[in-house]
């Protein structure tokens, strides 16, 4: 039997977990934390077990993972990530239960809290332990990446892409050319360059491109030997096609919604098919593409239909994200 804990409001929203569970052999029992007489002990045990489960992910080459993933670890509405031993809590609401706060404080860690609010995206706030000023380094798959708790709503790396970055590094072993669209801080570019690839990193944000260059330098790589392009992905793909440029690997991981500097709007559910088609036109023979979206409004099968290219294969999320397979990752030319 699995226990799922939550406040009354959270539990009302999560009643589907119980309905779904009773259809199979494993029953999920939902506890109301306000009524349970042993809250602290139960919650503390669940959190300790979740953190212990991640010990295999923290293998010396990686020190940034999700330690607690909501209902996947029996604690809906609460997520916890570690960045080189510094913790960041994420909740959809404006409060953290006292029992969880006590557990966080007792950890002795630097703890920050990010409220997941799409309408008011703010930097995480400091809760406990030593304050973290400026940027610092984390490790993933043996590579260094710069992150910051003061950079706004996003900290510099998306941990749910860890396995995909490792696979991109494996595929680019021995060299080749990688095109990383919607690159953010260049995680896929750094991984590919580490394997010997020449990379082209593209994003609408000049500050993120500068951050990507720093990530190259953090790993002893000369960023001047790689290409960094600011602008719209659709524009650059058409330009590359006219120039006859071809790439051995292409990463497409756009935001669900974005607007370029000319006001043009991109929506995954409407525009990803066109994007994939343009990208495939600059893919070298025998090359591969990685198509990703975290848009929860479509299934993996529907996303594959949207991509619409031959040789597609889905990829699972990292094991430290058990709550929901929200990230759809499709490899083309596997």
Structural domains of the chain in order of their starting residue, each with its CATH number: 2-136 (3.30.750.80), 158-332 (3.40.50.150)
Strands 198-203 and 227-230: parallel
| Number of Cα atoms under 13 Å in the Cβ half of residue 97 | 21
Helix axes 233-243, 268-280, angle to 10 degrees: 20
What are the pLDDT digits (tens) for 205-232? 999 999 999 999 999 999 999 999 999 9
Mean pLDDT of 168-179: 97
- What does the alpha-carbon distance between residue 80 and residue 90 come to, in Å, rounded to a whole number? 6
- What are the DSSP E strand ranges found in 8-99? 28-32, 64-69, 79-83, 86-91
Cα separation of 33 and 40, whole Å? 9
Neighbours of 170 (CB within 10 A): 11
Residue 34 phi, psi dihedral angles, 5° rounding: -70, -20
Spell out the residues 6+ positions from residue 189 whose beta carbon is closer than 8 angstroms to its own.
Answer: 178, 180, 183, 199, 200, 201, 212, 216, 226
Report the interhelical angle of 268-280 vs 300-307 (nearest 10°). 50
Cα 210 from chain centroid (whole Å): 20
Predicted pLDDT of residue 168? 98
Q: Write down the pLDDT at residue 96.
A: 94
**pLDDT tens-digit series, residues 107-147:** 999 999 999 987 788 899 999 999 999 999 999 999 999 99
**CA 309, 314, 319: angle at the middle one, nearest 5?**
160
Local structure of residue 163 (DSSP, 8 states): H
According to the model, what pLDDT value does residue 261 have? 67
Q: Does residue 22 carry a pLDDT above 70?
A: no
**24 — pLDDT class (breaks 50, 70, 90):** very low
What is the chain's mean pLDDT, rounded? 88
The predicted structure's pLDDT at residue 245: 97
If phi > 0 it is left, if psi is from -120 to 50 it is alpha, else beta; for residue 295 that is beta
Q: In this model, does residue 311 exceed pLDDT 80? A: yes
Whole-model pTM: value is 0.88
Strands 265-267 and 247-252: unpaired
DSSP for 232-294?
-HHHHHHHHHHHT--EEEEEE---SEEE-TT--EEEHHHHHHHHHHHHHTTEEEEEEEEEEE-
- Please give the pLDDT value at position 118: 76
Predicted confidence band of residue 262 (pLDDT cuts 50, 70, 90) = confident
């Amino acid at each position: 039997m699995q226990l799922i804990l939550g406040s009354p409001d959270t539990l009302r929203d999560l009643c589907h977990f119980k309905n779904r569970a009773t259809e199979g052999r494993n029953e999920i029992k939902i506890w109301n934390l306000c009524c349970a007489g042993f809250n602290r002990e139960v919650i503390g045990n669940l959190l300790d077990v979740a953190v212990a489960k991640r010990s295999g992910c923290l293998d010396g080459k990686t020190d940034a993972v999700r330690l607690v993933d909501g209902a996947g670890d029996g604690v809906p509405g609460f997520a916890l990530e570690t960045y080189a031993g510094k913790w960041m809590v994420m909740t959809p609401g404006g409060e953290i239960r006292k029992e969880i706060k006590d557990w966080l404080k007792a950890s002795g860690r630097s703890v920050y809290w990010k409220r997941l609010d799409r309408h008011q995206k703010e930097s995480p706030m400091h809760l406990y332990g030593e304050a973290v000023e400026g940027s610092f380094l984390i490790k993933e798959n043996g590579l260094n990446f710069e992150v910051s708790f003061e950079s706004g709503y996003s900290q510099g790396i998306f941990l749910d892409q860890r396995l995909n970055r490792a696979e991109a590094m494996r595929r680019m072993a021995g060299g080749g050319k990688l095109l990383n669209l919607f690159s953010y801080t260049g995680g896929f570019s750094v991984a590919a360059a580490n394997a010997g690839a020449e990379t082209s990193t593209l994003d609408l944000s000049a500050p993120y491109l500068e951050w990507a260059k720093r990530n190259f330098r953090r790993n002893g790589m000369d960023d001047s030997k790689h290409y960094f392009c600011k602008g719209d992905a659709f524009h650059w793909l058409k330009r590359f096609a006219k120039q006859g440029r071809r790439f051995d690997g292409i990463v497409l991981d756009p935001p669900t919604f974005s607007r370029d500097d000319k006001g043009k709007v991109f929506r995954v559910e409407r525009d990803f098919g066109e994007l994939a088609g343009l990208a495939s036109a600059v893919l070298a023979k025998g090359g591969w593409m990685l198509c990703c979206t975290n848009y929860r409004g479509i299934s993996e099968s529907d996303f594959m239909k949207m991509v619409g290219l031959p040789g597609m294969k889905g990829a699972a999320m990292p094991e430290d994200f058990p709550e929901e397979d929200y990230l759809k990752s499709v490899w083309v030319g596997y």
